[in-house]
Amino acid sequence: MFCNPKLLSNIRDAKHSTLYCNAGTATINKKGDLKSYGTVWYYPDGIANILSLHNVQKKHKVTYDSTQDKGFIVHKADGTSRVFMPLNKGLFYSDVKSDVVLINTVVKNKNKYMVKQYSNTRKAISIQDIIGHPSTADFIDYVQNNMILNCPITKEDIIHAEDILGPNLSSLKGKTVCKTPERVILNSLDNLPNELLVEHGNVTIAIDIMYINEILFMMTTSCTIHFSTAEMIKNETKSTIIKSIQQIIDTYHGRGLRVKHVLGD
């Protein structure tokens, strides 16, 4: 069962079926086709894309060695493979985010053109590679000035090719150079204005721990001057938290401010 339409093609109505799960039951009445696998149920209100290992091994070779931390490896017919690694709670998954973005974008752009136009864009890409990966502007100039003998493409074909697949990757790799960054001027912040020290010298900070992609961060902000900090911490033990808070307090004290209260749950 899949909930992400970007992974499927030919989504269509089907004879309904009932899904049973921990959250209760749901009626599914659509199916779609998953590349290199076949037909699956499509349920847009679901929270995950689920494949049955029992069914996958009927279509592809699957290997697993518990002595090596490599997860389940699905070997596809085109010679590539996909690895399913376990989450912390044991469920095996495969990250397809990068695949979806690339495939969906190219297909969407390709559908804007007729078959003949797309065929000419493939010729344009091939010719650009053969003549040494010139930039798009130079390539168009070569074609318009008849500098390529018996050239079967036009300026429009080159523009269409870049619209579908983006700039020529080989051209970018060969011509993108490192630029000298602008000089960074450091301004001293050691001396705070006396008005700030008098008005807001006593500071109250609020603290909390935030998870970002399962990484712990100690987050703080002062209630009046709104100075915020974020520090990655290893764990939530007492000693780690106290050390982090003390470093933050020392930062305020180093500027002449006094932390009088710390608020946290």
Any long-range contacts for 93-101 (C-beta under 8 Å, 24+ apart)? 96/7, 100/4, 100/6, 100/7
Residue that has been written with the tokens 């020392």 in this structure: 250
* Mean pLDDT in consecutive groups of 10 residues from the start of the chain, 265 residues: 89 85 80 89 87 90 80 81 82 70 58 80 89 88 91 90 80 72 69 70 91 91 89 92 92 86 91
Neighbours of 251 (CB within 10 A): 14
Measure the CA–CA gap between 192 and 240, rounded to whole angstroms. Answer: 30
Joined tokens for residue 99: 């695949």
| Confidence (pTM) | 0.36
> What are the structure tokens assigned to 223, written together?
């209630």
Amino acid letter, residue 32? G
Q: Give the end-to-end CA distance of the chain in Å, rounded to a whole number.
A: 41
Q: What integer pLDDT is reported at residue 100 of this predicted model?
A: 46
Q: State how far the Cα of 43 lies from the Cα of 25, in Å rounded to an integer.
A: 12
For the stretch 185-206, pLDDT in tens is: 766 555 666 766 777 788 899 9
- Residue where the block lists tokens 């036009």: 154
